[in-house]
Amino acid sequence: MLIATWNVNSIRTRLSQIIDWINQVNPDIICFQETKVMDDNFPIEPFEKLGYSVEVYGQKSYNGVAIISKIKAENVKKGFYGCKDFDQNIGIFLDQKRLISAEINGIKIINVYVPNGSSLVSEKFRYKINWLNCLASFLDEQEKKGQLICLMGDFNVAPSDLDIHDPDKYAGGIMASEIERNALNNVLKERLIDSFRIFEKNKSDWSWWDYRNNSYELNKGWRIDHIYISKELSSKLKSCVIDSSPRENIRPSDHAPVMIDLNLNDINVDFFDIEDDFFEI
DNA sequence: ATGGCAGAAGCATTCTGA
């Protein structure tokens, strides 16, 4: 099962590029961020024609997330819910459409667009840290239910200096600060694993390149888009790749898609083996 | 240190992003 995440920076502007990429790669599930469109104006039909169901949670001009899936998405939820200690002021996090979740194939798919935060002295930075703390609480509740989790999206945090093209230049700044890394680690705790780092212990690959300063041509990027999975799923993980090819398109998104291949077939094989044994008896 | 590039709204320019 191929599961991808992609900050497309406007679903409508990028639509033909996205369809081209789907036709090449044929993912089962894609989580989009920065769709930048209200739900009524989301281009649902092009995805339905390719066999996907579409779940959207958008707003005007900014933010916006969506999940498209070839497998039925159940228990679709928009925004945070059931976050301990955050219930009273959860409204400030629901104004901005940054999270959508669903259960697909028995796995809780959580698609997030974490606030950028602007700079460490900004009010937006406080919002970012509070948002991540609310996400941690949200995951605590999922963990209590025993859910297998796949948490992905644009986190706007480089987890380590390996994930920045020039870590010295950006040390301690936005997307690289200890405060943000600690907040991210508090979301992950010991329960979620960075799919990319299972395969690449020391490699630097980027998922985002600034539009300015010829950053892509100079390969000056960051790895800020991530797919985290429950550690119980790690033995099912076959690959994790960042596909930078769409970044070479004309008028590209500034982000590249990230994709994992999760081998859930052997779960079904085990199931059918038991069935066969049963009938042989 | 600042701006550079891009999208949306909407028609000149501002706001936001990372």
- Closest nucleotide over all strands to A33 (CA to C1'): B17
- Cross-strand bridge partners of residue A149: A108
Is A169 within 7 A of strand B by CB distance? no
Task: Count CB atoms within 10 A of the CB of residue A118.
Answer: 13
Is A238 within 7 A of strand B by CB distance? no
Nearest protein residue to nucleotide B9 (CA to C1' distance) is A61
Q: Single out the residue of A41, A59, A40, A49 nearest to residue A18, CA to CA.
A: A49
Strands (E), A42-98: 53-57, 65-69, 74-78
Is A34 within 7 A of strand B by CB distance? yes
As a rounded value in angstroms, the CA-to-C1' distance for A124 and B4 is: 23
Is A61 within 7 A of strand B by CB distance? yes
Q: What is the mean pLDDT of chain A?
A: 94
Q: Are A72 and A34 in contact (CB under 8 A)?
A: no
Q: Which residue has the higher pLDDT, A113 or A90?
A: A113
Residue with tokens 């200096």: A161
Task: Count CB atoms within 10 A of the CB of residue A47.
Answer: 22
Is A12 within 7 A of strand B by CB distance? yes
> Element (H or E) spanning A18, and its range?
helix A15-25
pLDDT in the model for residue A85: 84
Nearest protein residue to nucleotide B17 (CA to C1' distance) is A116
- Cross-strand bridge partners of residue A113: A154
> Element (H or E) spanning A45, and its range?
helix A45-48
Q: CB within 8 A of A131, min separation 6: which ones?
A: A93, A98, A114, A115
Edge-to-edge, what's the strand order for the sheet holding A107-113? A74-78, A99-104, A107-113, A148-154, A225-230, A192-194
Q: Which residue type occupies A146?
A: G
- Closest nucleotide over all strands to A253 (CA to C1'): B6
Q: CB within 8 A of A187, min separation 6: which ones?
A: A132, A135, A136, A139, A151
pLDDT in the model for residue A89: 80
From CA A52, how far away is CA A175, in angstroms rounded? Answer: 33
Nearest protein residue to nucleotide B16 (CA to C1' distance) is A62
pLDDT at A266 over 70: no
Strands (E), chain A: 2-7, 29-33, 53-57, 65-69, 74-78, 99-104, 107-113, 148-154, 192-194, 208-209, 221-222, 225-230, 237-242, 258-262
pLDDT digits (tens, 9 = 90+) for A202-256: 999 999 999 999 999 999 999 999 999 999 999 999 999 999 999 999 999 999 9
Domain boundaries, chain A: 2-273
List the nucleotides on chain B closer than 7 A to a protein CB. 3-9, 16-18
As a rounded value in angstroms, the CA-to-C1' distance for A168 and B1 is: 17
As a rounded value in angstroms, the CA-to-C1' distance for A63 and B8 is: 11
**Residues A177, A179, A184, CA angle at the centre, nearest 5°?**
100
Is residue A273 very low, low, confident or very high in pLDDT (cuts 50, 70, 90)?
very low
One of 1.10.3720.10, 3.90.1210.10, 3.60.10.10, 3.40.50.720 is the CATH number of A2-273, namely 3.60.10.10
As a rounded value in angstroms, the CA-to-C1' distance for A170 and B1 is: 15
Is A13 within 7 A of strand B by CB distance? yes
pLDDT digits (tens, 9 = 90+) for A27-85: 999 999 999 999 999 999 999 999 999 999 999 999 999 999 999 999 999 999 998 88
pLDDT at A274 over 80: no
Is A244 within 7 A of strand B by CB distance? no
Is A10 within 7 A of strand B by CB distance? yes
A131, A136, A142, A148 alpha-carbon torsion, rounded to 10°: 110
Q: Mean pLDDT throughout A16-23?
A: 98
